[in-house]
Amino acid sequence: MKERPLIAFTILAQMAVGALLALAVMIYFGKNLGGSSNFYYLNVNRYLPFIGSAMLLALFASLFHLGTPRNAYRAIANFRSSWLSREILLSGLFTAGVFGLIIRFYGHIIIIPAFLERIAFYFTALLGLGLVFIMARIYMITTQPAWNNLWTPVSFLLTSLLLGWLFLGAVDVIGHLILGWQSNPIDQGLNTPMQWLVYTSTFFLIPTAIITILNLKSPVQLPMTAFPSSQTRRYWLTGLRLALLAFCGIFLALFLVSLNGFDIQAGGLYLLARSIYVLAAFACGLFSEIIGRYLFYER
Amino acid sequence: MTGAGYAFYFNSAACSGCKACQVACKDKNRLPLGVLWRRVYEISGGEWKQVGQAWVTSAFAYNLSIACNHCRDPICKKVCPAGAISKRADGIVLLDSKKCLGCGYCAWACPYGAPQYDEAAGHMTKCDFCVDRLDSGLPPTCVAACPMRALEFGNREELEARYGRLEEIYPLPDLEITEPSLFVNKHPKVGGKGYVANREEVAPVRKKMSNR
Whether the Cβ atoms of residue A67 and residue B102 lie closer than 8 Å to each other: yes
Can you say whether residue B64 is alpha, beta or left, with left for phi > 0 and alpha for psi between -120 and 50 degrees? beta
Contacts of B10 in chain A (CB under 8 A): none
Sign for the pseudo-dihedral over CA of A90, A39, A180, A248: negative
Contacts of A85 in chain B (CB under 8 A): 81
CB contact under 8 A, B173 and A82: no
Chain B residue with minimal CA distance to A84?
Answer: B81
DSSP lists the bridge partners of residue B54 as: B51
Confidence label for B53 from pLDDT (cuts 50, 70 and 90): very high
Confidence label for A189 from pLDDT (cuts 50, 70 and 90): very low
Strand order in the sheet with B60-66: B60-66, B39-45, B194-196
Per-residue confidence (pLDDT) for residue A185, from 0 to 100: 46
Residues of chain A with pLDDT > 70, as a percent, come to 84
CB atoms inside a 10 Å sphere around CB A111? 6
User: How much is the average pLDDT of A83-93?
Assistant: 97
Contacts of A77 in chain B (CB under 8 A): 81-83, 99
Average pLDDT of chain A, as a whole number? 84
Question: Is A200 within 8 Å of chain B by CB?
Answer: no
Question: Is B33 within 8 Å of chain A by CB?
Answer: no
Q: Is the pLDDT of residue B67 over 50?
A: yes
Distance CA A93, CA A55 (A): 11
Please state which of the ranges A119-123, A201-205, A285-289, B77-81 shows the lowest mean pLDDT. A201-205
Confidence label for A191 from pLDDT (cuts 50, 70 and 90): very low
Distance CA A26, CA A193 (A): 7
Question: Could you tell me the pTM of the whole model?
Answer: 0.89
Q: A2, A74, A86, A225: best mutation site toward chain B, by most B Cβ within 10 Å?
A: A225
Residue B110, CB half-sphere, CA atoms under 13 Å: how many? 31
Residues 6+ apart with CB under 8 A from B58: B46, B47, B48, B49, B192
Q: B79, B87, B119: best mutation site toward chain A, by most A Cβ within 10 Å?
A: B79
Eight-class DSSP state of B31: -
Torsion angle defined by CA atoms of residues B171, B176, B180 and B181, in that order, rounded to the nearest 10 degrees: 130
Across the interface, of B80, B101, B110, the residue whose CB is closest to A66 is B101
Q: A2 — phi, psi (to 5°)?
A: -135, 155
Distance CA B138, CA A181 (A): 75
Whether the Cβ atoms of residue A39 and residue A117 lie closer than 8 Å to each other: yes
Across the interface, of B81, B99, B206, the residue whose CB is closest to A84 is B81
Whether the Cβ atoms of residue B117 and residue B36 lie closer than 8 Å to each other: no
Q: Looking at CA atoms only, how far is residue A5 from chain B in angstroms?
A: 11
Q: Is the pLDDT of residue B93 over 90?
A: yes
CB atoms inside a 10 Å sphere around CB A269? 8
Contacts of A144 in chain B (CB under 8 A): 108-109
Question: Is A68 within 8 Å of chain B by CB?
Answer: yes
Chain A residue with minimal CA distance to B105?
Answer: A84
Q: Is the pLDDT of residue B206 over 50?
A: no
Contacts of A1 in chain B (CB under 8 A): 102-104, 117, 119, 206, 209
Distance CA B67, CA B116 (A): 11
Distance CA A74, CA B82 (A): 5
Per-residue confidence (pLDDT) for residue B212, from 0 to 100: 32
CB atoms inside a 10 Å sphere around CB A164? 27
Whether the Cβ atoms of residue A298 and residue A139 lie closer than 8 Å to each other: no
Contacts with B, A 114-143, CB within 8 Å? 138, 141-143
Q: Looking at CA atoms only, how far is residue B156 from chain A in angstroms?
A: 23
List the beta strands (DSSP E) in chain B. Answer: 6-11, 39-45, 48-51, 54-57, 60-66, 85-87, 93-95, 116-118, 123-125, 151-155, 182-185, 194-196
Q: Is the pLDDT of residue A298 over 50?
A: yes
CB contact under 8 A, B82 and A65: no
Q: B10 — phi, psi (to 5°)?
A: -130, 125
Per-residue confidence (pLDDT) for residue A283, from 0 to 100: 96
Across the interface, of A69, A71, A228, the residue whose CB is closest to B199 is A228
Sign for the pseudo-dihedral over CA of B12, B16, B18, B21: negative
Chain B residue with minimal CA distance to A3?
Answer: B210
Per-residue confidence (pLDDT) for residue B79, from 0 to 100: 96
CB contact under 8 A, B108 and A74: no
Confidence label for B211 from pLDDT (cuts 50, 70 and 90): very low
Segment A230-241, tens digit of pLDDT: 788 888 999 999
ipTM confidence: 0.87
User: How much is the average pLDDT of A69-95?
Assistant: 95
Q: Looking at CA atoms only, how far is residue B34 from chain A in angstroms?
A: 14
Chain B residue with minimal CA distance to A71?
Answer: B101
CB contact under 8 A, A66 and B41: no
Question: Is B137 within 8 Å of chain A by CB?
Answer: no
